[in-house]
Amino acid sequence: MRHEDAIGPNSPLYLQLRELIRGKIENGEYLPGTAIPSVGALAETYGIHRLSVRSAVSALIGEGLLKAVQGKGIFVVGDKLEQELESVGGFRQNMVAQGKKAETRVLVKTLRPAGAAYGALLGVPADTALYFIKQVCSVGGEPVSLEEIYLPAELVPNLDKVDLGVFSILEIQDFYGIIPVRGEQSLEITQLNPADARQLGVEPGRGVLRLQCVSYDGGGRAVELTRTYTRGDRCTFSVHFQREY
Amino acid sequence: MQEYRARPRERAEELLEGYLLEHRLKPGDRLPPERELSQLWGLSRSTLRTAIAHMEQDGLLYSREGSGNYIAAPKYNRDLRGLLSMSQAAAAQGLRVETRLLDIKRMECGKDLARRFGRMLGAPVYKVARLRCVDAAPLMLETAFIPAELAEGLEYKELERRSLFSVLEEDYGLVPEQGDEKVGITYATAGEAELMGVAEESPLFWIVSQTYDRQAGLIEYCRAVARPDRMRLTTVLERQGEEEDIHET
């Protein structure tokens, strides 16, 4: 919660400075992609200790508003990417819609049995063959999300021959006449194991958002299970709701 | 097609998840001893323990010293598109919500609030801070802002007993008809950590919502933090153009 309304002349200086910097980012004085004044310069301007400046800055780095680049300075991060929970489209569609260039790098593409866990989630027996795909999605060269996708193999029989760098899962399903019409999504916070954290460029202990979606076709058959791990400092999810009468 | 072998830790987490689903374990049920499970699955004790610790952190399991691992209480499901009040939604899930009113005050709009509500600088707004607990455990800390002219006298309402939305609707004729909500991650400040019963800097959901009445426009702007081990956010999406939806979740 941003308690800027509660921060006043009696608040600790680092909190006052944090809100001051936040304000300058919001009103455009500090522009996305540009460096803010150095810690030393801020300390001098406001006559406060460098340690206080550091804690103000590191809080904003933690929130994803600023980014420290070794040897270069502290930069303002642009608007967070927004993913619409409402669209049935995949990652690519969402990013393209916002005019950002997205790339996908496949880490794993393999056939495996569903096992108890994925069998239960997809409503198929444990020995059902699934395609398992694990990929990193990047925007502007920076990893944004890690996706784990499980697809019943009989629904997309030739998946191993398809270049996933060219076609999205949604397009491939389309080739086979599979149209997901309903998705059950849940959003949680979890932590990645060290190897996955490295792929996503986050510290292992840091929280990431985990969006799980089970998609169903018109006949109510589960056609896909996707778990998307997203960097909390690069993305927010948004949803629009309306009262039904 | 490439050979793929899952890492032991991933395998352990998948097996545990499968075990919970397959055996339909209920909150408070005990997991078999670690020794038994590691033998059953051919995993080392330390790998199994790492996986269990991860599921504890995610709020799926909890452990009791010397007695083993148990299935945790179910998470509160917040349906992002539902407009049920939190107490109604919790009741439907067999959970009981309590609200502690931390603060309610009339204040003047700063620049950001004024812009958001389309009002002059200094226009009066109510700020309502509430701590929501589910089954006596802190879940969510909400700070809501409501233009004072739309809800004069809000400070005299029983906001611990009644939901804010039902007060707005029944007493002020404001209908929370549509809105939007943004969800991200934030890290607990010292104050939030104390109220929520978590360690400082631990990850929390960060939820910002705006709710609109057809005539009055924006009636509530709310910023909240919530414990991810006790809450999940859910939504059901339907592709447009299909016939009537099935809202069973």
Distance, CA of A105 to CA of A100 (rounded, Å):
16
End-to-end CA distance of chain B: 38
Q: Could you tell me which residues come within 8 angstroms of residue B163 by beta carbon, excluding any fewer than 6 positions away? A: B85, B86, B87, B88, B99
- Under CATH, which number does the domain A4-76 receive? 1.10.10.10
pLDDT exceeds 90 at position B49: yes
Question: What phi, psi does B170 have (nearest 5°)?
Answer: -75, -40
CATH value of B8-71 in 1.10.530.10, 3.40.50.280, 1.10.10.10, 3.20.10.10: 1.10.10.10
pLDDT exceeds 70 at position A88: no
Q: Which of A1, A77, A233 to mutate to test the interface with B (most CBs of B within 10 A)?
A: A1
Q: B232: which chain A residues are within 8 Å (Cβ-Cβ)?
A: 186-188
Mean pLDDT of chain B: 88
Contact A237 B82 (CB under 8 A): no
Residue of A85 and B80 predicted with greater confidence: B80
In B, minimum Cα distance to A160 occurs at B1
A66 and chain B: CB distance < 8 Å anywhere? no
Strand duo A222-231 + A235-242: pairing: unpaired
Strand duo A235-242 + A81-84: pairing: parallel
Give the DSSP per-residue string, A55-114. Answer: HHHHHHHHTTSEEEETTTEEEE--PPEEEESS----HHHHHHHTT--EEEEEEEEEEEE-
Residue pair A82/A236 in contact by the 8 Å Cβ criterion? yes
- How is residue A126 annotated by DSSP? T
Closest C-alpha among A85, A237, A212 to residue B237:
A85
Residue A177's pLDDT is what? 79
Contact A238 B183 (CB under 8 A): yes
Residue B240's pLDDT is what? 54
Confidence of residue B82 (pLDDT cuts 50, 70, 90): low
Amino acid letter, A95: M
pLDDT tens-digit readout, B207-224? 988 999 999 999 999 999
Q: What ipTM does the predicted assembly reach?
A: 0.85
| B124-141 core/surface letters (b: 16 or more CB in 10 A; e: else) | ebbbbbbbbbbeeebbbb
Every domain of chain A and the residues it spans: 4-76, 81-238
Q: Could you tell me which residues come within 8 angstroms of residue A16 by beta carbon, excluding any fewer than 6 positions away? A: A7, A9
In A, minimum Cα distance to B4 occurs at A110
Q: B181: which chain A residues are within 8 Å (Cβ-Cβ)?
A: 238-241
B25 and chain A: CB distance < 8 Å anywhere? no
Mean pLDDT score, A5-24: 87
Interface of B with A in 129-158 (CB under 8 A): 141, 143
- Under CATH, which number does the domain B76-234 receive? 3.40.1410.10
Q: What angle do CA B143, B148, B153 make, to 5 degrees?
A: 95
What phi-psi label fits residue B161: left (phi over 0), alpha (psi between -120 and 50 degrees) or beta?
A: alpha
Closest C-alpha among B36, B31, B74 to residue B53:
B31
Helices (H), chain A: 13-26, 39-46, 50-62, 91-97, 115-122, 169-175, 194-200
Distance, CA of B194 to CA of B178 (rounded, Å):
33
Interface of B with A in 103-132 (CB under 8 A): 107, 110, 112-113, 127
In A, minimum Cα distance to B189 occurs at A1
- Minimal CA separation from A166 to chain B, in Å: 18
Contact A1 B3 (CB under 8 A): no
pLDDT exceeds 80 at position B2: no
Question: Token pair 């810690």 is at which residue?
Answer: A39
Residue of A161 and A147 predicted with greater confidence: A147
Distance, CA of B221 to CA of B217 (rounded, Å):
11
Closest C-alpha among A62, A61, A59 to residue A75:
A61
Residue of B236 and B15 predicted with greater confidence: B15
Specify the CATH architecture of the domain A81-238. Answer: 3-Layer(aba) Sandwich (3.40)
Amino acid letter, B13: E
Residue pair B195/B140 in contact by the 8 Å Cβ criterion? no
Distance, CA of B233 to CA of B83 (rounded, Å):
13
**Backbone CA torsion sign across A10, B101, B76, B235:** negative
Closest C-alpha among A63, A70, A87 to residue A1:
A63
Mean pLDDT score, A126-142: 90
Contact A109 B1 (CB under 8 A): yes
pLDDT exceeds 50 at position B247: no
Angle at which helices B8-22 and B45-57 pack, to 10 degrees?
60
Interface of B with A in 27-86 (CB under 8 A): 54, 57-58, 75, 77, 80-83
Distance, CA of A134 to CA of A109 (rounded, Å):
7
Assigned token pair, A176: 């086979």
- Minimal CA separation from B196 to chain A, in Å: 12
Lowest mean per-residue pLDDT among A189-193, B67-71, B176-180: B176-180
Residue A7's pLDDT is what? 80
pLDDT exceeds 60 at position A3: no
